[in-house]
Amino acid sequence: MSSSAVQITGVLVDPTLSCTRIVNRDAQTEEAVRTLVQQLTVKYNDEIQPLSPIELTAPRILIDGEYTNMAVGQPLSTGRNLTALFIIPKTHSLVEANKKQQASLEDYRLRLERRTTVANAEWVIQAEDSKRAQQNTSKSSRRKKRKKARLAEEGSAPVSESVAAPIPESVSMSESISATMSESASASVNIAVQMAMNTFSKQFTSEIDELKVSRAQQAQEIWELKDSNATLTQEIWELKDSNATLTQEIRELKDSNATLSANNATLSTNNKSLTATVQRHSTTLHALHRRVVLDDARDLICKRYKYNIDDFRLGSQESVEGKPAKTMPQLMTEVHSKLNNEDRCLLHLEALMMIFGSGRFTIRGEGNFRAHSASAEDLKSAIAQPNLTPSQVASLKNIYAFTQHETLSF
């Protein structure tokens, strides 16, 4: 066998039947199994001779003696020998039972023939014995008649005649009795033989009727099994169709799930990006809003205590009359001294430091930084907002190109 060929054997375990084929390893399993089904079906029907031809169902596939889940639609690419075990037909037990009943019927017929032959032989023997007895009686009677006639011809004495006269009567009576007994015996033998024949016939007829009933019951069971098999076959095909439908639905669900997983991954990435953006915007807005609180407090102090906004910008004014500019502690002390009692309780020196201090690590300084800085992504997003007019968007895009050296394409 060449390296490109695979040996596949189909086996029907009981009775032990098998067919072996050598096929190309690239052939489909379904094709090889279909050929084995045809060969085994013909072989089973020819050798077993069931009441009606059988059809084998799908086998179980073995590879080197081990069961496998290999589908019949797959190629025989394993390169190893395969064995297909076919299921024994359900009607096989009925075939065996029918053969046993036929053998039993044949045996009974032979025994009945032997018994009939023996009875007939006995009847023939008895008939021949009766016939010989009748013949002997007839010969004795003829001899006596011939003797009597001879004596009459010879002129015997009257005394002798008178003495011999009763003899023929007794002889005739004996012959009559003997003939009657022979006929009675023959009739009795005939009656006995006839009764035996009738008994045998009744027994034979009764057993034949029982076998006919049993055969009819088996035929009914076979038809019921065929109907059941047809129903099961229909259910199997329906289950296969349902399985195919479910397989298609599963495949579609897998595709849909893959699409949803991809969408979910995209949404997750977008969500992470949006979360980062929201956190960045929140940080910026909080810093700006805190500066708004400080600006409101500074504006209220200016209004309530007649200060100018420039008075709170350290270093913005040159020294007056040779005096140096105010320092932060001096400014806080001056403002704190002018506050009324109610405001002084709310605005202690630390609060005034927060209101006026604009250094790098102060709250106002952080607000100033957030107000004058933003990422390129935030700048682009701000320019693309739908609440702006087309002319405003165009102008902002030009300004962005002027400052960032990049042309926006939206």
Per-residue model confidence as pLDDT tens digits over 220-250: 787 788 778 778 878 888 888 888 889 889 9
Q: Are 339 and 307 in contact (CB under 8 A)?
A: no
Residue located via tokens 């008895």:
126
Q: What percent of the chain has pLDDT over 70?
A: 73
Residues 160, 98 share a domain: yes
Residues 137, 39, single domain; the answer is no
- Sorting pLDDT into bands at 50, 70 and 90, what band is 159? very low
Residue 113: φ, ψ to 5°: -65, -40
Instruction: Please check whether residue 304 lies inside any domain of the structure.
Output: no
Residue that has been written with the tokens 């209220």 in this structure: 300
Max distance between CA atoms of the chain, in angstroms, equals 225
Query: Which residue range forms the structural domain that includes residue 206?
Result: 94-210
Give me the number of domains the chain comprises: 3
In this structure, the answer to whether residues 166 and 197 fall within a common structural domain is yes
pLDDT at 389 (0 to 100): 93
356: buried, middle or exposed (CB in 10 Å: 19+, 13-18, 0-12)?
buried
At 287, list the tokens.
């810093």
- Which of the residue ranges 16-25, 219-228, 257-266, 372-381 would you say has the lowest mean pLDDT? 16-25
Tens digits of residue pLDDT in 101-137:
777 778 877 887 887 788 778 777 877 777 777 777 7
Q: ∠ CA(248), CA(249), CA(252), 5° rounding?
A: 85
| pLDDT of the residue at 333 | 92
Same domain, yes or no: 54 and 133 = no
Q: Do both 397 and 410 map to the same domain?
A: yes
According to the model, what pLDDT value does residue 63 have?
55
Q: CB–CB of 29/52 below 8 Å?
A: no
The pLDDT of residue 83: 73
> Do 98 and 206 lie in a common domain?
yes
Q: Summarize the confidence of residues 87-94 as an average pLDDT.
A: 68
Does residue 246 belong to any structural domain of this protein?
no
Residue 61, in any domain of the structure: yes
The answer on pLDDT for 87 being more than 80 is: no
Residues 64 and 101 both lie in one domain: no
Give the span between the Cα atoms of 43 and 48, in whole angstroms: 8
